[in-house]
Amino acid sequence: MNIRIPKFLFLFGGLLCAFPSFAQDDLTALLGDTKEKPSNVSATFKTTRIVNGHSIEGVAKGVMDIKISHRFGRLNQGAVDLFGLDNAYIRIGADYGLTDNITIGMGRSNVDKEFDGYAKIKLLKQKDQGGTPLAISYVAAMSLKAFRTPVGESFVLADRMCYAHQLLLAKKVNTSLSVQLTPTLVHYNLVDYSSYSNNLIAMGFGARMKVSSRASINAEYYYVLNKWDNAQTPFTNNFSLGMDIETGGHVFQFMLTNTQAMTERNFIGQTTGQWGKGDIHFGFNLGRVFTIKQPKGFEGSRNSTY
């Protein structure tokens, strides 16, 4: 069998194969299958607290966040107390990233000479581009009231301790709005009256709305399902309005809230302030981050040493 194929057809055909169009779009198309993997959503909240309570945010590995917090007295104390500024509750604390997923923290408050500690563990991370739609973290916190035992009374170590367990369910809805649901269990080893439950169940609601790239408005509400019943000073739910301002390494959080406390057992279960009566406390959290351990991959880089 001898079918004659004109030579030029070979040449033409070959050249056709050999000479695809070299337009730039084709080059870009070559890279086009670099399908972007869904990546972790970052900065759902500015810092580890929404106002009083925990946010989904941890601290990065090897980073320490020193937090100085004040809650002043009630605005309705009037001018004689400089609207509460004369007496402040103070907490000094530090949060540290053990790993990118585990943050631990400690603090001490002047009221009740209370020491607190917590661990926050990331269980699920929100991803962009149609990935995981929300983030879940778990917080276990405990506190110890280290006040001197009053004469004639007895407080053994166990009596001084309280615990809190929180599941943080957070979603960054878009670049400016983030929301969080926080089912919470607070356990008190010792309560004032036998009618008080040792376990309080609460649901926290938190949100932040960015108003600029460096500032956001925050709101936080803890609804306690089985509030203690006290006719004289009724317990209330904690509601706070705050503002975060971030300036490089610092985050300033200013807030108005109806509690003066900064530990879960206190602001969730033992809030008595009523917004309607002006029992509003002005306060702030001031956070400053320090990189304690330099991450890998920057050996020989030109970054400033610290």
Candidate list 1, 3, 30, 151; residue touching other proteins; CB under 8 A: 30
Q: State yes or no: residue 195 binds other proteins (CB under 8 A).
A: no
Candidate list 2, 28, 195, 233; residue touching other proteins; CB under 8 A: 28
Question: Of 22-30, 141-149, 199-207, 228-236, which segment contacts other proteins by CB under 8 A?
Answer: 22-30
Two structure tokens written together for 1: 């069998």
Candidate list 154, 194, 232, 303; residue touching other proteins; CB under 8 A: 303
Question: Of 138-146, 159-167, 245-253, 277-285, which segment contacts other proteins by CB under 8 A?
Answer: 245-253
Residue ranges in 67-126 that form contacts with other proteins under rule CB under 8 A: none
Measure Cα distances from 187 to 100, 115, 181 in Å: 28, 16, 19
Rounded Cα distance between 215 and 193, Å, is 43
278 Cβ contact list (under 8 Å, min separation 6):
74, 75, 76
Q: State yes or no: residue 289 binds other proteins (CB under 8 A).
A: yes
202 and 268 Cβ atoms separated by less than 8 Å = yes
**Pick from 222, 218, 219: nearest CA to 183:** 222
Cβ proximity to other proteins: between 57 and 279 the closer is 57
Residue ranges in 116-135 that form contacts with other proteins under rule CB under 8 A: 128
Two structure tokens written together for 147: 């006040």
64 Cβ contact list (under 8 Å, min separation 6):
94, 95, 96, 97, 289, 290, 292
Q: State yes or no: residue 1 binds other proteins (CB under 8 A).
A: no
Burial string for 282-298 (b: 16+ CB within 10 Å, else e) reads bbbbebebeeeeeeeee
Alpha helices in the chain (DSSP H): 7-18, 24-32, 264-267
Q: State yes or no: residue 175 binds other proteins (CB under 8 A).
A: yes
Cβ proximity to other proteins: between 19 and 193 the closer is 19
259 and 271 Cβ atoms separated by less than 8 Å = yes
Question: Of 23-31, 179-187, 222-230, 275-283, which segment contacts other proteins by CB under 8 A?
Answer: 23-31
Candidate list 3, 5, 79, 80; residue touching other proteins; CB under 8 A: 5
Question: Of 33-41, 148-156, 219-227, 275-283, which segment contacts other proteins by CB under 8 A?
Answer: 33-41
Which positions lie near other proteins, rule CB under 8 A? 5, 7, 10-11, 13-15, 17-19, 22, 24, 27-28, 30-31, 34, 36, 39, 42-43, 59-61, 63, 128, 175, 213-214, 246-249, 289, 291, 294-295, 297-298, 301-304
